[in-house]
Structure 1
C-alpha cells in the first residue's frame, strides 16, 4: 500500500501541532533532534515513492559515464533503489533496477535520466521515466529519446527492462504547449484503477521539457495473442510556454510552470509541482481531480522539485529555496540573499485544508522527492544534484561543498515560519 498511488489512501495523518505544523518526529529518547540519514551513497537521487511491500522507492538519475561531448557525459549509471523499513535505525538498502541511461557533468553532477519511478500493482515491477539509449543523441540536448520504461523480475528470476511508451514521439506529434519540441520526464505516478493485479492501470508523467503531464495507458485494441498492447500517450494537463514572436524566451514574461513532481491523496486527487522557471516565488502546486479538472492551487514557491501529502498537510521541496543561485556578476534578490557557504534548499509544509495557511520550512540541502510514511514520517531526497561523493568546493560551484546524494527522514521541531525567516 502507498500514499503515492491513487488506490491506496492509507497514509496516516500526522498529529497537528500549532495549526499547520506537523509533529516533530522523534527518533528515540537518546537521539538528537534534526534530520536522520536513512540512506546515503546515492547518485543524484530524485523522486520518492512506495511499493506494495512498504519499501521506499528512490529514483537515481545516475552520474553519467565515460562517453562525453563537451560538458555532457553519459553512461548506464541510473538506478531504482529500494529502502526497506526506512523508519528503522538501520534500514536495508538494495538495488531493484540498474543500468539506466544517465547524462551528467564530467564530475557526475546535475544528472539527467531516470529521475522518476513508481511501483505498479505487479509485485516487483516498476515504471520509470527515463531515456531510450537507442534514440539518445549526446550531441543534441533536446534529443533525449525520452521514454517510459517498465522493469521487473520474471517468476524464473530473469530480470527485464522494456520500453513502455515513447514520450519523445508523443511530444513530436502532439507538442501540447506549442513551443520547442523537447521531452524531459521528471516524475511518475502509477494509477491502479481496481483491487486486482491486472494491466488496466496507467501512469501519469510530469514532463518538464514538454510542459505537460502525460497520461500513458495501455491500448488493448492493439493487443493480439502474440503481442502485448501498445501504450497510448495523451496530454492530461498542459501549461503554455512563454515565447516571443522571434522564438526566444521572454525573461520578463510570465514564468513557465515546468511540471517536475507528482503526488496523490486518499481521494484520488493529483498534485503537480512546477519549477516556475526557477524564479523566486513563481513556482506553484496545482491540485487536480483524477480526471484532470483543476481544483486548487498554491503559489509563491521557488523551484519545486518534489511534492507529497498526508491527510492534513502539503509538503513541497524547494530545490534552491528560498532564492536560486544567480549567474556571476548578478545580485541575488535583496529580500532573501543567500548565506555564503550555505547550500540552499527547503522543504515547506502547510495545512492544505486551511485558506491562506501559514507556511513553515526546514532547511534541506538541494532537496527533490518527498514522501510521507504511514506513521507521520516525512522523507526527502537530499543533495539531489550530486553524485554519491558530493560536490567539491570550487570556482564553478556557487554553493560551496555539497554532500553526497542521500535520503533523510525530516524533523520539523525546528521548522520556522517563512514570514518570520531571515
Structure 2
C-alpha cells in the first residue's frame, strides 16, 4: 500500500432530495454534526463493544521520539471507549495503550493501531497493528488486549500477519503487512472464546481469516491459530512497490463491517484514484455478493437497516502531492479540509447517493436507530495539524475526534467515473 496523500477537494453541486428520515436531527438540537469525543490521536476504525453501548475507537497514535529521516516511532497507539455516544455527555476512556505508532514529526499521518474490535469476552479487544515486542512497523500483527478480573492489563499476540504474508503472499507482490481494520465474528453469542477475526491488510491486498484454538492457550503462551486468505485482490503495482499510473488501480482493503445477516462489507482505497475505490459485499463464507464502485479513497464503511455508509478520505477527488502542479481539471485549493461520507440504499439498484462533508473521515459505525458516527480528522493528532509548508493537506486540520453525523443537509452526488488509462 502506498502512503496516503493529503490535500483538498471541492464539494459537489448541492441538490435537494430525500435522505433517511432517522438521520436528520430533530427536536432542539441544532443542525450539523455533534462532537461526541475529541482529543484523539489519528482515530481510525470504529466498532461497538459487547453490549453495543460504547464505541470502540482505534487510535493509531502520534509516533514518538525514535526518529529517522522517514518519521518518528513510539508506543503511543491506543484503544479508547466512547460510552453512550448518543447521550448528552459521553464518557471517554482509554482501555488499552502502548501500541507501536509511526508518524510524521508533528504526529500526523500515523500508522499503528489502525483497527480494533471487541471480542466475545467482556473488556477484551482485538487490535490490528504491530507487535510492540518486534521492530517498529516491520511485523504486522493482530493483538489481544484487555484486563483481568483483578484489573490487571494484559496483551498477547493473536496472529503474526507478517509471517502469514511471508509464507502465503496471496497477491504475489512485495512482502509487506499493514493491518488496517479488524472485525470479530462471534459464532455463538451464548458462549465465549469461540469466534474468529477478519483483518483487512492493506499492504497484502488481502483480508485474512484468523481462527484461534483457545484450547491450546496456557498461562505462559497464547493460543495456536490458523490463518488463511479469506479474500484477495490482485496486485497492479510496479516491482519497486510504487503505483503504475498507466495500469489498473489496486483495491487495497482498508475497512470492514458486517450486517445483521453476517454478510461482510470491505472498503478499498483504490490507489487513491478518483472513482477507482469500491465497497464489496461478501457472504460470511467469503463469496462475493454485491459491489458498489465509483468511490475515491474509501477508509470506512458501515451498514444500518438498508443503508450503506462510506467514508471518502479526501472526498470525490484526491489531491496531488505537495510540489506538483495540478492539472486543469484538478480542484483549486479552497482552504477547507477535504472529506465526505456518502450514504446509499444498498438494496436499490443504481441507488441515489447522498453526501455530507466530513473532514478526513475514517471509521464509521451505525447503531441501528439512525445514529451514525465517524472518526474525523483521522490523520491528525489530538491538537491537529498546523498550516504551513510541511502540511500536505494545504490548510490547518483540527484534532482527531468522533462525530455524530447529521444528514439533513446532504447533497446528491454521482459515482465518479474513473479516468481512462
TM-score greater than 0.5 by the shorter chain: yes
Q: More deviation in 369-378 or 267-276?
A: 369-378
Query: Shift in Å at residue 196 of structure 1?
Result: 2.5
CA contact (8 A) 1:20 1:358 kept: no
Residue in 1 that maps onto 2:3:
none
Query: Shift in Å at residue 337 of structure 1?
Result: 1.4
Query: Shift in Å at residue 356 of structure 1?
Result: 0.4
Query: Shift in Å at residue 95 of structure 1?
Result: 0.7
Query: Shift in Å at residue 384 of structure 1?
Result: 0.2
Residue in 2 that maps onto 1:52:
50
- Select 2:285's aligned residue among 287, 291, 300: 291
Distance 1:294 1:333, change over 3 A: farther
Query: Shift in Å at residue 136 of structure 1?
Result: 2.0
Residue in 2 that maps onto 1:400:
395
Query: Shift in Å at residue 245 of structure 1?
Result: 7.1
Distance 1:249 1:156, change over 3 A: same
TM-score (structure 1 length as normaliser)? 0.90
Counterpart check, 1:259 vs 2:253: yes
Distance 1:211 1:246, change over 3 A: closer
Alignment of 1:9-408 (within 5 A): 21-26=20-25, 28-29=27-28, 31-53=29-51, 54-137=53-136, 144-219=138-213, 229-244=223-238, 249-327=243-321, 328-332=323-327, 334=329, 337-397=331-391, 398-408=393-403
CA contact (8 A) 2:201 2:208 kept: yes
Query: Shift in Å at residue 100 of structure 1?
Result: 1.0
CA contact (8 A) 2:305 2:368 kept: no
Query: Shift in Å at residue 226 of structure 1?
Result: 7.5
CA contact (8 A) 2:304 2:368 kept: no
Query: Shift in Å at residue 106 of structure 1?
Result: 0.4
CA distance in 2, matches of 1:34, 1:84: 21
Q: More deviation in 195-204 or 94-103?
A: 195-204
TM-score (structure 2 length as normaliser)? 0.90
Query: Shift in Å at residue 223 of structure 1?
Result: 5.7
SS in 2 for 1:412: coil
Distance 1:177 1:41, change over 3 A: same
Residue in 2 that maps onto 1:414:
409
Aligned length: 398
CA distance in 2, matches of 1:208, 1:297: 19
For residues 178-232 of structure 1, the C-alpha deviation after alignment (integer angstroms, 9 at most, x for no partner) is: 0000100000100000122322200000000100000011146856797553121
Residue in 1 that maps onto 2:4:
none
CA distance in 1, matches of 2:54, 2:22: 23
SS in 2 for 1:171: helix
For residues 148-167 of structure 1, the C-alpha deviation after alignment (integer angstroms, 9 at most, x for no partner) is: 11011111111101111100
Can you give the 5+ residue segments of structure 1 that lack an aligned partner in the other structure? 1-16, 138-142
CA contact (8 A) 1:184 1:209 kept: yes
Distance 1:394 1:266, change over 3 A: same
Distance 1:245 1:66, change over 3 A: closer
Can you give the 5+ residue segments of structure 2 that lack an aligned partner in the other structure? 1-15, 417-421
Q: Which runs of 4+ in 1 moved over 4 A?
A: 17-20, 220-228, 244-248
SS in 1 for 2:188: coil
Residue in 2 that maps onto 1:13:
none
For residues 34-68 of structure 1, the C-alpha deviation after alignment (integer angstroms, 9 at most, x for no partner) is: 00000000000000000023111100000001110
CA contact (8 A) 1:21 1:360 kept: no
Q: More deviation in 62-71 or 20-29?
A: 20-29
Query: Shift in Å at residue 23 of structure 1?
Result: 3.2
SS in 1 for 2:163: helix
CA contact (8 A) 1:82 1:93 kept: yes
CA contact (8 A) 1:72 1:105 kept: yes
SS in 1 for 2:172: coil
Query: Shift in Å at residue 27 of structure 1?
Result: 5.8
Distance 1:43 1:416, change over 3 A: same
Distance 1:337 1:229, change over 3 A: same
Query: Shift in Å at residue 252 of structure 1?
Result: 1.1
